[in-house]
Amino acid sequence: MPDLLIELFSEEIPARMQARAAQDLKAKVTDGLVEAGLTYAHAGAFATPRRLVLTLEGLLAHSPTTREERKGPKVDAPEKAIEGFLRGAGVAREDLEEREDKKGRTYYAVIEKPGRPAPEIVAEVLEATIRNFPWPKSMRWGAGSLRWVRPLHRILCILTNDAGEAEVVPLDVDGFTAGDVTEGHRFMAPEPFSVTSFEDYAAKLKRAKVMLDPEERAEAIWNDATNAAFAAGLEVVEDRGLLAEVAGLVEWPVVLMGEIGAEFLELPPEVLMTSMKEHQKFFSLRNPKTGRIERFVTVANRETADNGATILAGNQKVLAARLSDAKFFWENDLRIAKDLAMAPWLDQLAHVTFHNKLGSQKARIERIAALAREIAPEVGADADLAEQAARTVKADLSSEMVGEFPELQGLMGRYYSEAAGLSPEVAAACEEHYSPLGPSDAVPSAPVSVAVALADKLDTLTGFWAIDEKPTGSKDPFALRRAALGVIRLLVQNEISLSLIDACISAQFGVDTTLMDLEKANPNSPINLRKRYAEAAQIEEKDLRKIEVKAIDKGALSTAIKNLRKLTERPDQVAEKLVELRLAEDLLAFFHDRLKVHLKGEGVRHDVIDACLAMPQADDLTLLVKRARALQAVLSTEDGENLVQGFKRANNILTQAEEKDGVEYSFGADRKFAETEAETALFDALDAADAKIGPAMASEDFPAAMGAMAAIRPELDAFFEAVQVNTDNEILRRNRLNLLSRIRTVCLQVADLTRLEG
Amino acid sequence: MDNRDTPQSFQEIILRLQAYWASKGCAVLQPYDMEVGAGTFHPATTLRALGSQPWAAAYVQPSRRPTDGRYGENPNRLQHYYQYQVIIKPSPRDLQELYLGSLRAIGIDLELHDVRFVEDDWESPTLGAWGLGWEVWCDGMEVSQFTYFQQVGGHDCAPVSGELTYGLERLAMYVLGIDHVMEMPFNDPSAPIPLSYGDVFRQTEEEYSRHNFDHASTEMLLRHFEDAEAECQKLLEAPADDPKMQRRIVMAHPAYDQCIKASHLFNLLDARGVISVTERQAYIGRVRALAKMCADAFVTTPAATGAA
């Protein structure tokens, strides 16, 4: 069985696209071949800066012949029907067979598709692959119309039989004729050569200074770099992304270790690492004892007669120029931090627009400062420190270093705050207040950092909500989902109880002030707050009540609603509160959605969360998550699962009776009417449970409360086994319904179990 | 490196590039006589990249980036500098090899250096143009931009032009081993009157930096921007048939001059710090609209269609 080798040789393919392209080549070609009936035993795909390569072992030499029978119309069917059948089956009249059938003589078409030789199929599949290749970005070149990631130069496509003889697959794509020829390294071995098999190709490439396998190149780079570092008493700062990228920039990696000028060694290690990585694609070498970055590793694409001396000297020179810039920025920045306490930076932020509908960065800082101050007591932070931190954390955005390397924002703030002699809490907040960024990013726990981080994110969310820039579908240009998840993780991991409704309303106070200011400056501003309030003021009294009731239903009874009632004689203020409250509720629903996604990852069912959302204070996410986790835990026990079934049975009977009788059975059951032992036992069990649930609920120990509830399960089961609730004796019936009501009350304390599925 | 092979001055590098590209068949043009931000703005690139007609040109283009002025003090940054630009349409199959030959021609020994093509897609929002290509690194230093033009002024380029841009000061400093641009020999250091880059340009860098940042009068610039925009539109709205000559004369190039002017005026306004972030986009959009109109006009002219 033959082996197939394909190489698509081009000008330099962007490093970031190579791995995906190799996989796409493999998928497209093998899918096409298999679909045409050519199976294979093994496939391998590789990429270098100048080539995409696919090798298939054990390919069928021919696709198998296929035979398909199709039943047609009866022999005496109308001519039209027979003609239609012939067209559909693609056969001639004389090719039809007549066979005796249950219904009489019927035409049959036997369509035989003869197998085709592999070269023919490979040529078709490869041409289609080249023409429809899924590059993220492709281009035309010269006078041609073919598209490739960069100009394509050669197509190598051969089939090698078991005797080792190679055959070029006949293929021509827009003037590119497939052959058996390739080239080696651009500079070290540029002469073309022909190959007869994959083994021959790989061996000749290696001789021509091309390491075909990207993993081999990455491994060689990593080994040589760590060895060089080790010999110098240093370690390589691991960076997988950089390693993969560098392996995609070279065909013949040569690791060179270089020096960083002594005058730059005092720069913060992050600055050195970022500058070297971003501009030069250098690896940083760290002194494990001091944590300082002392040298670098660069990867050249060739060997030279002077063992890389010229290359290294050039690289060091370029680095020195880059680091002179960085040093210049660092020293200027430090001066502004030390001598002027960063004041000029904050002044500059007045001229930097955060978003054209949400004002300047400075206005935003004012908002965050006020909000951080308000949140501070809730998270155990000193209010003055939180406010000071909030007024400091964005200052570094104006620094020259962050202007050059935006990814160093926050971190530079920490360095500059330290230089300015600010307290360690403030310095830490500079670095930490952006966190958590991703779902696995660490969550800060220092109270001042937490206060500023929450204020920052809540201001962002409230602001974009106020100007109606909410995320839709896959569009989330302002990363609001990430901000919401950040708030959730900050609250839950630090076990902070905070009313999000209240916090969002506080945040809106700041946002509204900004919007008013923008309106004053520009009467035609797109967000007209007064107009919005005026519209809201049109809302009638009954609508007002409806919104209140909805808020209470959601468990979001907040001070704002209480205030609302006091303010009914001031319609404009009521309207304002209404707008705020609506927005806060909408935002809360967004938080709840994100929370569901987040907890799903923990294995908490969405209906479990729904059951907990129905409880009071659902805008306190820490409380909500405690409930949800407790409920989820108890549901995974047998007692818990059965308790829910028992509860639902009790609840159904009770609800039906209440609807039928038009009364609420909540008078309390009386033990003296207990007829059977099962009933008495249930009374006992409920008394015992109540004794435990009360204190557990008081201390928000939901697992203990749920455990106590689950403990009544045997008595509840026995009760239903032994007792008929809807008995003819009205007194007994009422008492039993009141008993069920007690069960409902007990069971609904942690979550609304009626909302559980199943 | 063989000493005979090593250029001695900034101008020698330019002269070698001129000789090299002339030997490869390019028409060696002179700089365009207007203020531009980069060699790409020269109509020999922007307009000639459009249409079906073959083209091969090379030229030095003085370029101005008002915001990059550093009063002649920064070792690498200048508000006025030179670019060397090569454009060939259709892009030849061996353009990379031709390019590497030009590096050899200015004394870079490719056996000792590490030259690499690192992804860098080019886009000019003001010209409505984009292309794919690389920045070329020599020992970690970016020495050129290499681009296959895909679109200019919103028009697909067919055939595709290959464009090479060398930042001449940076490249020359590298080849000559100079750390501060002002110290670079401009002519032969052994000439009777040896001149450094600083002798030629230090004072102008200082003067223009002051002018660009603090004194260029913004009201005048704004007015001129409006004028250039209006003039460009007016020229293109004129009927294609010239009544005097009794034939079709589309004023694509004069209109494009006004587009170049508007673009430079915008750069100056930007340096003066009077353009806010939101306005910035709007100004870029206005220049792009002019570039697009000029491209629309140029593609109907003989230089694009080949019609006699």
Chain A nearest CA to B98, separation (Å): 13
**Interface A-B: count of C-beta contacts within 8 A:** 101
As a whole number of Å, the CA-based R_g of chain A is 37
The end-to-end CA distance of chain A, in Å, is 57
Distances, alpha carbon A114 to alpha carbons A36, A62, A68, A95, in Å: 12, 10, 11, 16
pLDDT at A553 (0 to 100):
44
pLDDT at A552 (0 to 100):
46
- A433 contacts: CB under 8 Å, gap ≥ 6: A389, A393, A410, A444, A449, A452, A453, A456
Q: What are phi and psi of A321, to 5 degrees?
A: -65, -45
Tokens 């209109």 found at: B255
Residue A716 near residue A681, CB atoms below 8 Å: no
Residue B220 has pLDDT above 90, yes or no: yes
Chain B nearest CA to A281, separation (Å): 8
Sheet holding A293-300, edge to edge: A235-236, A283-286, A293-300, A254-259
Token pair listed for B42: 């020269």
Distances, alpha carbon B259 to alpha carbons B271, B275, B283, B284, B286, in Å: 19, 19, 12, 11, 9
Residue A549 has pLDDT above 90, yes or no: no
Q: Which of B119, B132, B134 has its CB closest to that of A139?
A: B132
Residue A563 has pLDDT above 80, yes or no: no
pLDDT at A555 (0 to 100):
43
Residue B274 has pLDDT above 50, yes or no: yes
CB contact under 8 Å between A150 and B132, yes or no, is: yes
CB contact under 8 Å between A151 and B119, yes or no, is: no
Chain B nearest CA to A311, separation (Å): 5
Q: Taking all residues of chain A, what is their mean pLDDT, rounded to a whole number?
A: 89
Residue A539 has pLDDT above 80, yes or no: no
Q: Which of A16, A304, A319 has its CB closest to that of B112?
A: A304
ipTM: 0.93
- A643 contacts: CB under 8 Å, gap ≥ 6: A634, A709, A710, A712, A713, A716, A747
pLDDT at A571 (0 to 100):
55
Distances, alpha carbon A19 to alpha carbons A92, A152, A155, A625, B268, in Å: 49, 18, 19, 41, 44
pLDDT at A664 (0 to 100):
85
CB contact under 8 Å between B119 and A318, yes or no, is: no
Token pair listed for A63: 């696709």
Residue A362 has pLDDT above 60, yes or no: yes
Token pair listed for A312: 């290294």
Q: Which amino acid is at B178?
A: I
Other CB atoms within 10 Å distance of the CB of residue B166: 26
Token pair listed for B149: 């033009």
The tens digit of pLDDT for each residue in A158-195 reads 999 999 999 999 999 999 999 999 999 999 999 999 99
Q: Which amino acid is at A170?
A: P
B226-238 average pLDDT score: 97
Distance CA B80, CA A696 (A): 76
Q: Which of B134, B158, B159 has its CB closest to that of A12?
A: B134
- A758 contacts: CB under 8 Å, gap ≥ 6: none
Q: A98: helix, coil or strand?
A: strand
Q: What is the share, in percent, of chain A residues with pLDDT greater than 70? A: 92
Give the confidence band of A529 by pLDDT, cuts at 50, 70, 90.
Answer: low
Q: Which residue has the higher pLDDT, B83 or B216?
A: B83
Listed ranges A228-232, A469-473, A509-513, A640-644; the one with the highest mean pLDDT: A228-232
* Closest listed residue to residue A4, CA positions, set A125, A156, A158: A158
CB contact under 8 Å between A141 and B116, yes or no, is: no
Distance CA A354, CA A93 (A): 76
pLDDT at B281 (0 to 100):
83
Q: What are phi and psi of A641, to 5 degrees?
A: -60, -45
Q: Which of B114, B131, B159 has its CB closest to that of A311?
A: B114
pLDDT at B3 (0 to 100):
46
Q: What are phi and psi of B71, to 5 degrees?
A: 60, 25
pLDDT at A355 (0 to 100):
83
Please give the angle made by the CA atoms of A709, A710 and A712, to the nearest 5 degrees.
75
Q: How far is Cα of residue B1 from the mean position of the Cα atoms in its chain?
A: 31
Judged by average pLDDT, the poorest of A86-90, A692-696, B203-207 is A86-90
CB contact under 8 Å between A142 and B91, yes or no, is: yes
Q: Closest chain B residue to A313 measured between Cα atoms?
A: B139
Distance CA B70, CA B209 (A): 6
Other CB atoms within 10 Å distance of the CB of residue B246: 7
As a whole number of Å, the CA-based R_g of chain B is 20
- Give bridge partners of residue B60 from the DSSP assignment: B84
Chain A neighbors of B115, CB-CB under 8 A: 187
- B295 contacts: CB under 8 Å, gap ≥ 6: B46, B47, B50, B128, B152, B153, B154, B155
pLDDT at A196 (0 to 100):
96
* Closest listed residue to residue B129, CA positions, set B52, B193, B41: B41
The tens digit of pLDDT for each residue in B74-96 reads 888 899 999 999 999 999 999 99
Chain B nearest CA to A156, separation (Å): 18
Residue A527 has pLDDT above 80, yes or no: no
Q: Which residues of A523-543 are buried (b: 16+ CB within 10 A; e: fewer)?
A: eebebebeebbeebeebeeee
Chain B neighbors of A313, CB-CB under 8 A: 139
Burial class of residue B75 in the structure, from the number of CB atoms within 10 Å of its CB (0-12 exposed, 13-18 middle, 19+ buried): middle
Distance CA A491, CA A208 (A): 59
Q: Which residues of B2-27 are buried (b: 16+ CB within 10 A; e: fewer)?
A: eeeeebbbbbbbbebbbebbeebebe
DSSP A273-338: HHHIIIII-PEEEE-TTT--EEEEEEEESS--TTTTHHHHHHHHHHHHHHHHHHHHHHHHHHHHHH
- Give bridge partners of residue A66 from the DSSP assignment: A113
A384-413 average pLDDT score: 93
Residue A321 near residue B76, CB atoms below 8 Å: yes
Q: Which helix (H) or strand (E) holds A595?
A: helix A571-600
Q: A472: helix, coil or strand?
A: strand
pLDDT at A530 (0 to 100):
58
Judged by average pLDDT, the poorest of A436-445, A570-579, B128-137 is A570-579
Distance CA B263, CA B289 (A): 11
Residue A371 near residue A507, CB atoms below 8 Å: yes
Distance CA B127, CA B42 (A): 12
Chain A nearest CA to B95, separation (Å): 10
Q: DSSP alpha helices (H): ranges in A187-308?
A: 198-207, 214-231, 240-247, 269-275
Token pair listed for A663: 């009364």
Chain A neighbors of B121, CB-CB under 8 A: 137
CB contact under 8 Å between B138 and A310, yes or no, is: no
Residue A554 has pLDDT above 70, yes or no: no
Chain A neighbors of B141, CB-CB under 8 A: 314, 317-318
The tens digit of pLDDT for each residue in A337-348 reads 999 999 999 988
Token pair listed for A572: 């404009």
Chain A neighbors of B53, CB-CB under 8 A: none
The tens digit of pLDDT for each residue in A474-506 reads 888 889 999 999 999 999 999 999 999 889 988
Record the pTM. 0.79
Helices A447-466 & A424-432, crossing angle to 10 degrees?
A: 40
Burial class of residue A561 in the structure, from the number of CB atoms within 10 Å of its CB (0-12 exposed, 13-18 middle, 19+ buried): middle
Residue A360 near residue A352, CB atoms below 8 Å: yes
CB contact under 8 Å between B119 and A14, yes or no, is: yes
Q: DSSP alpha helices (H): ranges in A676-722?
A: 677-698, 702-710, 713-722
Chain B neighbors of A280, CB-CB under 8 A: 140
